[in-house]
C-alpha cells in the first residue's frame, strides 16, 4: 500500500508542475489580447472570462493536489474525507487527488450540479 502511495505522490507532484506551467502560458496569451479594436476587445473580454473560469478549475485541482500531498505526509491519504471508508487503489491511481470515495463523490457532485443550475449564466444576454 505504502509503495503505491509513493508512486502516486510522484504522479501528483508531476501533475501539479504541469498545471502550474499551463497557468503561466495562459497569462501570456491574455497579455497579447489586450491591444486591438473594439471587436477584439469584446472577444478578449469573453476570452478573459473563459480563461478565468478555466484557471479557476485548474487552481481547484492544484488545491486538491496540495491537499492530497498533505494527506500522504500525514498518513491519512487513501481514506474518504466524508465517510472514512478506504478509497479503492484503482480509483486513486486514476485520480490521485480524490478526497472522497465513489459514493460520496457522486453525492457531492449531484449537489454541486443543483447549485450551478440555480446560478444564472452571465453571458446569456449577448445572444439577444
In sequence order, which ranges of the chain are alpha helices (DSSP H)? 2-32, 38-74, 89-94, 102-118
Of 123, 127, 121, 64, the closest CA to residue 98 belongs to 64
Query: CB of 48 within 8 A of CB of 30?
Result: yes
Cα dihedral 35, 36, 39, 44 sign: negative
Nearer to Zn ion, 36 or 88 (CB): 88
Nearer to Zn ion, 17 or 108 (CB): 108
Nearer to Zn ion, 56 or 84 (CB): 84
Interface with Zn ion includes 102 (CB under 5 A)? no
Residue of 30, 55, 82, 91 interacting with Zn ion (CB under 5 A): 82
Interface with Zn ion includes 104 (CB under 5 A)? yes
| Calpha distance 23→5 (Å, rounded) | 27
Interface with Zn ion includes 80 (CB under 5 A)? yes
Interface with Zn ion includes 105 (CB under 5 A)? no
Residue of 83, 86, 89, 108 interacting with Zn ion (CB under 5 A): 83
Contacting positions for Zn ion (CB under 5 A): 80, 82-83, 101, 104
Amino acid at each position: 500500500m505504502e509503495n503505491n502511495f509513493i508512486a502516486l505522490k510522484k504522479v501528483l507532484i508531476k501533475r501539479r508542475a504541469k498545471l502550474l506551467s499551463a497557468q503561466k502560458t495562459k497569462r501570456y496569451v491574455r497579455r497579447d489580447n489586450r491591444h486591438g479594436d473594439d471587436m477584439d476587445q469584446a472577444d478578449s473580454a469573453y476570452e478573459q472570462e473563459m480563461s478565468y473560469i478555466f484557471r479557476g478549475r485548474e487552481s481547484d485541482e492544484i488545491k486538491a493536489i496540495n491537499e492530497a500531498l498533505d494527506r500522504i505526509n500525514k498518513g491519512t491519504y487513501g481514506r474518504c474525507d466524508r465517510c472514512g471508508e478506504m478509497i479503492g487503489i484503482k480509483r486513486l491511481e486514476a485520480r490521485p487527488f480524490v478526497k472522497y470515495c465513489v459514493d460520496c463523490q457522486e453525492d457531492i457532485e449531484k449537489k454541486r450540479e443543483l447549485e450551478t443550475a440555480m446560478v444564472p449564466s452571465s453571458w446569456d444576454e449577448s445572444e439577444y
